[in-house]
Structure 1
Amino acid sequence: MSLFRGEEVTRKALKTWIGFRFLVVSVLLGLGIALLHGKGGDDQTPFFVLLCATAVLSLTYWVAASKAGSPRFQAVCQLVIDVVLVSCMVHYTGGVSSPLALLYVLVISAGSSFLLVRGTLFLAILCTAAYAMLLGVEQTGFLSPAFDGPAAGAESMRLVALQITLYGITFLSLALLSGYLSFRVYRRGVALKAVRSRLHQVNLDTDQILRSMSSGLLSVDRDGLVVHFNPAAAQIFGVEANDAIGETCEEILARRAPRLLEMIREILAGGEDVLREETDIECVDGTSTPIGVSGTCLHAHDQTIAGVVAIFQDLTEVRKMQEQIRQSDRLAAIGELSAGIAHEIRNPLATISGSIQVLQNELPVQGEQVRLLGLIVKESDRLHRIMEDFLDFARPRPTNKVRVRLPQMLRDMISLLENHPKRRKGVSVRFETDENDLVVMLDDEQIRRVFINLAVNGMEAIEERGVVAIRLERAPMRHEGGTDGENGDWVRIVFEDDGVGIAESARTELFDPFFTTKKGGTGLGLSIAQKIVLSHGGRIDVESGAKGTRFTVHLPGAAVGTGEELLVS
């Protein structure tokens, strides 16, 4: 039933009925005017009046149906007026002998499309009452028939009563049948609407699930056409989802992921599902990204192959973590060896250094002997510092974390760096931050050592004139690999210089112990720095080119506090 399918559908059905009734009434009245043509203008006047009234009412109905309002109320009013209009047409076309009494059937049929069964029965009773009242007033003489009919009498009255009864039974039967059928259609429509709503919700849920997946999902049909391509897949491949859907998997995967394409072809050909496999894909910028992929065959209800669904994840971060674990294992092994060597060398070295200093003070040395003894003491001190680095690397001290106002620590460090012996004239150090109240839980002494090491490395990389820029900024945790269960944001400290860059071949070994590109370096500075940062739950990233290098220290657990809350300021 149109009325219960929504106001917009009901308005369309109402407009359709308005146009149909105007067409039918116009044709019938036009025929009446044509048949009465030549019998005198007075006989045609009611037909013209009814035709004009129908046109005016139809226009009014149409305007009302186009505006906001209750479609049901308009339908009820329109049907009642139509009953009156049909009664007038019956009166002016012969009354008891008029064939247009059957127009009541159209009104009842139309009513069943807008009203429930009870409403349609009420409309049938109204039509019967209107018809009976019209014939009654004509037979009793209160209203003169438009045409001469049978003379009033007992026999005539019985015939009129019989006609009214037959019409009434017809109207009520039609109301019951059409109302019941309309009600069935209404129930079916409600059920269909519920099914469509559930189907739409299922589609929405499925689409939302696919869109929310962090893993890429690609599904193809039996012909190899892409059916699903979720946002994660689009991000991994660098292809818009709308551009991929509907294309063949060969066009999407042939150049960028040949192994994934081969896997899909094998499964479509009846091969076994792939539970887990690692391969590489080529990104838009030409770089290679490792992915882990699994493929499953989709079966139709008759167990034939309907397509393939492939799920894949970007393994870049996993590979980084694996490399960090391997590096940690190497560091642990080397650390144990270094600790043993440093311990065995430090004690006799201290004895040698002390003995030389005693000889310097007690023997009358002069000339070249003074220089050689000083050189021995200097190199002994340098070896002692190397041994200390070995021990710091191999057996790091436990971290003693306190609340530190990080911007103030970095500003104090800038003052030290400006007077550092390795800062050449023309090399400046600049500090930038918008986070003046940033507080972090860390070991002040250890992290300060990391920062000074990175800043001094930047100063040494600048050959003549340049700047070492240090930036402090807050970073949302989700960008730094944190978990939802941890509190606070991450913080980034960037050390960037415009000196000589680091060769690409050296970047992969930069944090390995004993690897150095500096003359006279021990190769332990960055290894110790990374170990300290890792012990704080952070990491160090490095970016470099032919000119300029950027080291970024990521530390977790940033918070905002006041000076009274700090143990270190």
Structure 2
Amino acid sequence: MNKFKVQNWFLPFRLAQYIILSVIVGIWMGYPNFMHFQFVLYSIATLSFSLLLATDYRHKLQHLTLFLIICQFVLEIVIESSIIYATGNINSQFSVLLILTIISASLVFRLIGTLLTASTVSVAYALIIWFGFGTDAMPRFTIHALQTIFAVGDSIFYPIFMHMLIFYLIAFISGYLAERLRKRDQELAEASSALQKAKLETDDILKNLNSGLLSIDRSGTIIFFNKAAEKILDYKEENIKGVACTTVFSERMPELAEILMQGIKNHIAYPRKEVTVINNRKESIPVGLSTSVLTEKGNQIRGVIAIFTDLTDAKKLESKVRISDQLAAVGELAASIAHEIRNPLAAISGSVEVLKDELDVSEENAKLMSLIVKESDRLTHILNEFLIYARIDRPSYNKVELLHLISEVLEIVYHHKSYHNGIKVNIESDESMIYVNGDEGLIKQLLLNLVVNACEAMGTDGGELTFRLAWHESTGLVEMYVQDTGPGIEHHLLKNIYQPFYSTKKEGTGLGLAIVHRVCTALDLSVHISSQMGEGSTFMVVFKKFVSQTDTDSISVEEYA
């Protein structure tokens, strides 16, 4: 037997049989001496296989368990035969015990095994009858005793025959039924296993969806909440499962609770809807939501299922695309009007300067002329920034030494009106020379705008301007940090800082950081800002380290060596 298996009620049935035999032998018969030895063996066999069946050792010791069961059956037949012999032989009412043994055998053996048990019982029963017709004057198992059985006639022969017939009939019926029962149990076990497997696979799929998934029943109670839902809505499944959705979501996301309950009360489903939820950190999260109403026969509501995703990244990308479109539009505008305005503006400014020097004007008129010149210069500066912004289109990539370029930019800034001696400049770098891949002119413009922006942010109070460069050999990326100790930027304003003409400074043109963003877009550089009110702001620009053709060839040789 490759896999030893018994019916669940086999052990209770065998123990009940043991108790019945114990009562008969111990109480009814007074525990006769000739049954001491076999009953002790029978008790030991019963106890041993019972312990094995009651524990997991039956799977490890299958052959031993089967051997003990067979021994127990054999000893039981011997004891039952002894009881029949001692209580009237062929007239004993305890012959029914043999039938119980046959039925018990059907619970563990197949049909053939049950029929073999019936054969053993029939032989034992016949031998007992044969043995009972002997006398003390002659041996028990003799031809004379057998002849006596046949000589007596129908009163002995037919009862023996009927007993044997009943034994085989019971064996066939119980074996057949047990076989059918065994097959049914196996089919049920296989079906249950398949159902459990399907349930586990379905649960596993739903639990690990990248989209959030929750479902409620007809009373509004949450019955399913997957891992993505926990992450997006900032709740734990064990804390909210079995709780009404209105109770759970009423404080931080009442709109979600209302949408779910609309499905229950009014059969309203939303194929696509956007809602805003608040997490435990009081942050607003845009969520794309789709709900479906689950119904059963009779159009009765079973519940509502909601699938949703975090739209934060999508919103950021949408914002970047919108800003890029705005920047492109402004660039086209700048390219078309800058040349048309700058030349007449220069003529106006020059003419006013000549008139101011040659004419004898009053002090008030002189101030007006100075104002014209000053505003003309300011407009010229704006137009120049327009032209710079518009020309950031087709970069030319070359080898650029970043530290040297920072030094050049600082020499220019030292003569800029926004710089003064109260500003301390620091440069920190892992290497003495760092080469990146990019357009030197555009990178220089990027650095200049970042430094001027930092100096203007610190203003007359001064502070520290720090450049920090870090090269990550594993990724081949160079991170450049430009940090100031100015007043910082409020969190809700950070999303607008790259928009053209947007400025938090009174005299700012609003094009400095727009140029920074356009340069980074043109050179495919990542730019990030972090700012804390009262502590300052830090811009991080990520460059790709310059790799020469020689370095590339040597790397390729090492890979294929």
Shorter-chain TM-score: what band? 0.7 to 0.9
Determine which of 98, 103, 106 is the counterpart of 1:109: 103
Per-residue CA distance 1:46-105 (angstroms, 9 max, x = gap)? 344344333322232234443254565345423432343233324433424344433232
Using the alignment, how far apart are the partners of 1:130 and 1:455 within structure 2? 109
Question: What residue ranges of structure 2 are gaps of 5+ in the alignment?
Answer: 353-370, 555-561
The equivalences for 1:89-488 within 5 A come to 89-95=79-85, 96-97=89-90, 98-136=92-130, 139=133, 152-156=148-152, 162-347=158-343, 386-400=382-396, 421=414, 422=419, 427-429=424-426, 431=428, 446-447=442-443, 449-450=445-446, 453-454=449-450, 457-458=453-454, 461-462=457-458, 463-466=461-464, 468=466, 470=468, 472=470
- The count of corresponding residues between Structure 1 and Structure 2 is 521
Aligned in 2, Cα 1:58/1:552: closer, same or farther, shift over 3 Å?
farther
Aligned in 2, Cα 1:516/1:154: closer, same or farther, shift over 3 Å?
closer
C-alpha displacement of 1:240: 0.7
Using the alignment, how far apart are the partners of 1:230 and 1:281 within structure 2? 17
Q: Over aligned residues, Cα RMSD in angstroms? A: 4.7
Using the alignment, how far apart are the partners of 1:466 and 1:417 within structure 2? 16
Kept in 1, the 8 Å contact 2:529–2:537? The answer is: yes
- One-letter amino acid of the structure 1 residue matched with residue 190 of structure 2: A
Q: Report the more deviating stretch, 184-193 or 14-23.
A: 14-23
Using the alignment, how far apart are the partners of 1:432 and 1:268 within structure 2? 62
Kept in 2, the 8 Å contact 1:492–1:552? The answer is: no
Map of 1:23 onto structure 2: 19
Q: Report the more deviating stretch, 159-168 or 346-355.
A: 346-355
Seq. identity, % = 27
Per-residue CA distance 1:479-506 (angstroms, 9 max, x = gap)? xxxxxxxxx9998755444432124564
Using the alignment, how far apart are the partners of 1:156 and 1:80 within structure 2? 36
TM-score of the pair, normalised by structure 2: 0.76
Kept in 1, the 8 Å contact 2:276–2:287? The answer is: yes
Using the alignment, how far apart are the partners of 2:280 and 2:63 within structure 1? 62
The equivalences for 1:518-533 within 5 A come to 518=505, 521-533=508-520
Map of 2:49 onto structure 1: 61
C-alpha displacement of 1:11: 9.2
Question: What residue ranges of structure 1 are gaps of 5+ in the alignment?
Answer: 37-43, 357-374, 477-487
Aligned in 2, Cα 1:410/1:183: closer, same or farther, shift over 3 Å?
farther
Per-residue CA distance 1:212-252 (angstroms, 9 max, x = gap)? 33332222111111112222222222111121211111102
Per-residue CA distance 1:248-303 (angstroms, 9 max, x = gap)? 11102222222222223332223432222223223222232222323221101232
3-state secondary structure, aligned to 1:269: helix
Aligned in 2, Cα 1:538/1:182: closer, same or farther, shift over 3 Å?
farther
Using the alignment, how far apart are the partners of 2:197 and 2:273 within structure 1? 34
Query: Is 1:87 aligned to 2:77, yes or no?
Result: yes
- One-letter amino acid of the structure 2 residue matched with residue 61 of structure 1: F
Per-residue CA distance 1:301-322 (angstroms, 9 max, x = gap)? 2321122222222222333233
Aligned in 2, Cα 1:83/1:200: closer, same or farther, shift over 3 Å?
closer
TM-score of the pair, normalised by structure 1: 0.75
